[in-house]
Amino acid sequence: MSPKLTFMICAAVGLIFAVSFALAPEFFTLGAWPTAEGLALEIGVSMRYVLAAMIFFVVLLQFAASTINGADNQKPIMLSSAIGFTIVCATILCVGLFRGDGIPVFPPIIGTGVLAILCWLSWRRITRTSS
């Protein structure tokens, strides 16, 4: 798969998550912490809004990266994307297992995990032209 297509897929999936978090923050907060109420729920909802904005920022960067030409320019950006998605996936998994109610939130784990694998595979296929 070409790096440009990988960046576009990452941007599209990220946009879905950003819009979802922005439109239904309480749903996602209660999905992660079903017993949250009062101030804890308000803080969780506020964090979802902030997370939606941060994801949208990454979406914009991924979209901009899809316009970059040349393997020498694409390879380090793809590596950064692969590492970033891997860290996000691992963090969501660990929070779900060790900090929440013991129930990981599967859609973001699957989404970021698939994007991480896609980025690692694309990074591996990019051939640098310089030494």
The string of DSSP codes covering 46-83 is HHHHHHHHHHHHHHHHHHHHTT--SHHHHHHHHHHHHH
What tens digit of pLDDT does each residue of 81-112 get? 999 999 999 998 888 788 766 566 788 889 99
pLDDT of residue 93: 87
- Kindly state the tokens that stand for 25: 């923050």
User: What pTM did the predictor assign?
Assistant: 0.83
Residue 123 Cα distances to 23, 40, 82, 96, angstroms: 33, 40, 8, 28
Tokens 């101030």, located at residue: 39
| Residue 78 token pair | 């793809």
